[in-house]
Structure 1
Amino acid sequence: MREAVLEAARFLAGGRTLALTLDDVADHVGYSPFHLARAFERQIGMPPGKFLAAQRFQLAKQLLLDTGEKVVDVCNEVGFCAPGTFTTRFTATVGMSPQRFRQLPDLLDAHPPRPVRVPGTAGAAGGVVTGRAWLSPDAVTALGGTPAVYVGLFPQRAARGIPVSGSLLDERREFVLTGVPPGGYRLLACALPAGAGPREQLVPQVQVVGVAAEPVRIRRGPAAPQRRDVRLAIAPLWTPPVLVALPPLASAAQERRSTR
């Protein structure tokens, strides 16, 4: 079943501009839609429909940066019919509107990302998560030089929207996430080629990611910091892309500091 799921993921990634249905994917791999959907979510971490949408948003990010097409044309090219729905879902997933995402290269040129910690909304009463990020040798080689490593807490095992608390790490790759509100989270990490230009930071050719083995559970009231180390490696081609725009989170935080 694993090979069928991986083939389904490859099929969806290759057909991200097509109007594919679950029945189409199930027919392609020779399984029933019901069993394929359950196995797909268990193996990939999200349902087939959301995986297809993620592939479409990744293509949309490339088109927004590499072409002068209108947002409505990008919407149609990546398989969405309603521009309003596309913009709403893109914003919720990437963390900003398509128009704002298109402006990011200029922002990053003016305010390059630098190590920073962005606390959660709970302030001093919130939870604390500490740890260290480790990169595989292959990941370091693929990214070249000193990679930029981002870590963040997300409600689900997918980097979607804006993290509850996050950090761009320095060369020690140790982190302290503070102000975390009560709830359940997954610690996710992504490494980007720090020496590359804005385009490569926003849509990297190689995806280097990691997720802490244990989830994070923050309860109300005082508690000791929770330790969650994370190991990053080159992701297989069928892995869902990291859609959240990470560099501007550190850049925007730095921009706010410089204007105080």
Structure 2
Amino acid sequence: MREAVLEAARFLAAGATTELRLGDVADHVGYSPFHLARAFERQVGMPPGKFLAAQRFQLAKRLLLESDEKVVDVCNAVGFCAAGTFTTRFTAAVGIGPQQFRMLPKLLGDHPPRPVHVPGPIAGGGVVTGRAWLSPAAVMALDGAPAVYVGLFPRQAAQGVPVSGALLDERQEFTLAGAPPGSYRLMACALPARGSPRDQLVPPVQVVGVHPEPVWIRPRPAAPQRRTVRLDLAPPWTPPVLVALPPLASAEAQERRRSR
């Protein structure tokens, strides 16, 4: 079943610009839609429909940066019919609207990301500390200069803005504070620190890490929890990291975000 799921993921990624239904994918791999959907979510971490949407938003990010197409044309090119729906869902997944995303390369060129720890909304909330480790293959793929982002996300996908996040310095140590009570996934992504702003917004390779267990923040937080997250080159079927990470570590980008 694993091979069928991986082939389904490849099929969905290749068909991001076409109209696909679960039945089409199930027919392609020779399984029933019900069994494929269950196995796909268990293996990939999200349902097939959300995986397809993630592939479409990743393609939309690339088109927004590499072309002068209007947002409505990008919307249609990645399989959406309504520009309003596309904009709303893109903003929820990426953390910034399509028009604003398109302007990020210039903003980041003038105000590059710097190591920072951004706390969550609860003063005295939960705290998670730890360290990020990168595989030698991951470091090599990033030309020996990884920019490591770590965050607490409410779901098993790096989409939207993390509850608490950080761009790490060379020590790769993190402190994520101010988290409200709840269950979170500790996720990390490494981008090419010496790459262009465009390469940092839509990286040519995906280096990611997810702590295997959820992080539980209790209503009355105890001592800081310590976790280690290990990053490696992501397999081709891994859902893309949609959240725009570099502006979260750019003081000017954050100032503009607060002023909107």
TM-score by length of 1: 0.96
Q: Offset at 1:145?
A: 2.5
Question: Which blocks of at least 5 consecutive residues in structure 1 are unaligned?
Answer: none
Shift of 1:220: 1.2
Would you say how many aligned residue pairs link Structure 1 and Structure 2?
256
Runs of 4+ residues deviating >6 angstroms: none
* CA shift for structure 1 position 252: 3.5
Distance of 2:101 and 2:252 partners within structure 1? 16
Whether contact under 8 Å (1:22, 1:48) holds in the other structure is yes
> Do residues 216 (structure 1) and 215 (structure 2) align?
yes
Partner residue of 1:237?
Answer: 236
In the TM superposition, what is the alpha-carbon distance from 1:253 to its structure 2 partner?
6.5
Which residue identity does 1:161 align to in structure 2?
G
Cα displacement string for residues 28-77 of structure 1 (whole angstroms, at most 9, x for unaligned residues)? 00000000000000000000000000000000000000000000000000
- Over 3 Å counting, the alpha-carbon distance change for 1:177 and 1:253 in structure 2 is farther
Contiguous gaps of at least 5 residues in structure 2: 256-260
> 1:172 aligned to 2:171?
yes
CA gap of 1:225–1:27, structure 2 versus 1, over 3 A, is: same
| Distance in 1 separating the partners of 2:254 and 2:39 | 44
Structure 1 SS opposite 2:148:
strand
Deviates more, 1:46-55 or 1:214-223: 214-223
The letter of the residue matching 1:182 is P
Other-structure match for 1:205: 204
Percent identity at matched positions?
Answer: 77
CA distance in 2, matches of 1:238, 1:2: 11
**Contact 1:116-1:167 at 8 Å conserved across structures:** yes
- Distance in 1 between the 2:85 and 2:203 partners? 26
Q: Could you list the per-position Cα deviations for residues 98-118 of structure 1 after superposition, in whole angstroms to 9, with x for gaps in the alignment?
A: 000001001101110010000
Measure the CA separation in 2 of the matches of 1:255 and 1:154. 19
Structure 2 equivalent of residue 109 of structure 1:
109
Structure 2 distance, partners of 1:141, 1:222, is 39
Aligned to 2:132: 133
**Cα shift readout 1:151-176 (whole Å, capped 9, x = no counterpart):** 00001111010000000000000001
Amino acid at match of 1:136: S
Superposed displacement of residue 228, structure 1? 1.1
Paired residue for 2:53? 53
Question: Aligned AA for 1:148?
Answer: A
Q: Counterpart of 1:229 in 2: which secondary structure?
A: strand
Q: Taking structure 2 as the reference length, what is the TM-score of the superposition?
A: 0.96
- Structure-1 separation of matches of 2:249 and 2:179: 18
Q: CA deviation at 1:235?
A: 0.2
Partner of 1:76: 76
Q: How does 1:1-260 map to 2 (within 5 A)?
A: 1-123=1-123, 125-252=124-251, 256=255
SS in 1 for 2:250: helix
